């Protein structure tokens, strides 16, 4: 936390851009500092597919998790891809709280 504000990093597939934006807004209005992805590669930000950029984005996202108190997983329709699974495992390994947009079945 910084002051009275919890820090939450959003994780999930970048194909769910609208859900990222909606949850970022909701969590911010609840009084949290929200960190999100830098690019939405699966939603049109083609720069992410340039050489070395995806690896950079993945590493930077782990550093966002390092800064956070918890992560919030955007798991629309239950979908959790391999990158998100890796982020969840990392968050758990570093003793972060993991919450989900949709209940895990």
Domain range summary for the chain, segments of one domain joined by +: 7-100
> Confidence class of residue 96 from pLDDT cuts 50, 70 and 90?
very high
Whole-number pLDDT of residue 70: 98
Beta-carbon contacts of 48 under 8 Å, excluding residues fewer than 6 positions away, are: 14, 39, 40, 41, 54, 57
The pLDDT tens digits for 27-46 are 999 999 999 987 776 666 66
Q: What residues are paired with 10 via a beta bridge?
A: 72
Judge contact between 34 and 3, C-beta under 8 A: no
For the full predicted model, state whether its pTM sits above 0.75: yes
For domain 7-100, the question of CATH label 3.40.50 is answered with: yes
Strand partners, 5: 2
Distance in angstroms (rounded) separating the CA atoms of residues 29 and 49? 33
Distance CA 23, CA 35 (A): 11
């Amino acid at each position: 936390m910084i002051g009275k504000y919890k820090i939450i990093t959003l994780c999930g597939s970048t194909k769910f851009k609208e859900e990222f934006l909606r949850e970022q807004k909701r969590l911010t209005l609840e009084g949290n500092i929200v960190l999100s992805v830098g690019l939405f590669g699966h939603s049109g930000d083609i720069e992410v597919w340039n050489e070395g950029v995806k690896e950079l984005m993945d590493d930077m996202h782990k550093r966002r998790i390092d800064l956070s108190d918890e992560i919030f997983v955007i798991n629309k329709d239950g979908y959790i891809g391999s990158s998100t699974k890796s982020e969840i495992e990392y968050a758990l390994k570093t003793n972060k709280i993991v919450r989900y947009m949709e209940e895990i079945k």
